[in-house]
Structures are given as C-alpha cells and as structure tokens.
Amino acid sequence: MAYASIVMTALGLSYAGMAALSLAIDRHHRQVYGCDAPGRRRSMLRAAGSVLLILALLPCVLLWGAGAGCVAWLGVLTVGALAAALQLPYWPRSAIPLAAFVGTLSLARLAGLALG
C-alpha cells in the first residue's frame, strides 16, 4: 500500500507541475481563461511548475534510491506531461481545479513522508 501511495504522490506532483507549466503558455492560458497570461502570473506559474516537478523527484528517490529513482522520475514526468497534454484539448476548464486538488494532496502526502 505504501508503494502505491508514494508512486501516486510522485505522479500527482508531476501532473500538477506540468499543468502549471502548460498554463504559463499563452495558448493554453487562453484556452482556460480566454486571455493571455499577464507577465507576473506567467512567472509564478513557471516557478510553481518547476518546483512541483523537482519535488516529484523526492518520492522516486525515497522509493528506489538515487540511481533508479532519477530514471523513474523521468518516467513519472512523462506520464504527468501526457496526462496534462491529453486533458487540455478536451477539458481545459477542469485543468485548474484538478491540478490544484491533486497537487495539494500530493504535497500533503510528501510532507507526511518527510515527517514520518
């Protein structure tokens, strides 16, 4: 059970990070909000997405060690990017609440892993 939970944490962080990075692009921001992203929001989305993707490395390294964890992290990033890329064309308005929900749950689980 803990194995699946750690993998889902990494996948959730990866998805939330990729969704944030995709919303920093004007085309995808326009799909969701109907307008281009202001400069400050674009910078914040890029920073948040980058931090979430880096944090997705931690569960992978905790579970598989440094060598295999880095390789698994690349696979997790691929799955997160695929999920975000498949969601935006079909359900662009659901990207924000889903990424926020999944990202919050994953960050809470990551905090639980770090503390316990």
Query: pLDDT value at position 95?
Result: 87
Q: Where are the domains of the chain?
A: 2-108
Tell me the backbone φ, ψ of residue 15, rounded to 5 degrees.
-60, -45
Residue 28: alpha-carbon gap to chain centroid:
16
Q: How much is the mean pLDDT over the chain?
A: 93
Per residue of the chain (116 residues), give pLDDT as tens: 588 999 999 999 999 999 999 999 999 888 888 888 899 999 999 999 999 999 999 999 999 999 999 999 999 999 999 999 999 888 888 988 999 999 999 999 999 888 87
